[in-house]
Amino acid sequence: MFFGLFRGAANRRLIDRLHGEIVAAARDPVLFRAYGIGDDIDGRFESLALHAALVLRRLGLLPAPGPEIAQDLADALFRHFDVALREMGVADVGVPKRMRTIAESFLGRANAYDRALREGHAALCTALARNVYAGRRDADRLARYVEALDKGLAGATLAEFVEGPIFAGKPEEEGHDAS
């Protein structure tokens, strides 16, 4: 039944919606203001990579066509990165090298977050502190937010991904610390 839903224009609409939801969640101003993610190109990449990794992780665990949707979504994310590089003025000859760097960074983070989520809170804090904060900040609060998102996604069915929205919670403004 689901395979028929994910062909042609229907698939494109689904991927566009999922991509849009990931971008919206990753750009929530609270993440930059209260969680201390850098409000710059690096911080925005880290936030996008984090949110996308969580969604791709869950889609990859669902029965078919979940993994196929995950691949289509990953392809859309990388098309977005390509367009963003070109809009930033990266020359055509430089785009492939930059895309290779972005792909390695994204996949490394996705693997690190997957492993850390399986290993527990301390491992997730370490992975987030290293990647999101470049070791300059404690990641406990961000880890709790990520764990809540992951828990919400863990119970999501393929039908729920199709119907949306995929993210149930928002980051909390309260409890802001200046560290």
Rg (CA), the chain: 16
**Domain contains 160:** no
Mean pLDDT of 70-78: 96
**Domain contains 168:** no
Cα 47 to chain centroid, rounded: 7
What's the pLDDT at 47? 98
* Single pTM value for the model: 0.91
pLDDT in tens, 94-110: 889 999 999 999 999 99
Q: Look at 10 and 25; give whichever has higher pLDDT.
A: 25
**Domain contains 164:** no
Task: Give the position of tokens 């911080």.
Answer: 43
Number of domains in the chain: 1
The rounded percent of the chain whose pLDDT value lies above 90 is 80
**Domain contains 118:** yes
What's the pLDDT at 8? 62
Please state, in angstroms and rounded to a whole number, the distance separating the CA atoms of residues 138 and 144: 12
Q: Domain range spanning residue 133? A: 2-155
**Domain contains 177:** no
**Domain contains 161:** no
Mean pLDDT of 52-79: 96
Q: Would you say 109 and 131 are in contact if contact means Cβ atoms under 8 Å apart? A: yes
Please state, in angstroms and rounded to a whole number, the distance separating the CA atoms of residues 21 and 163: 12
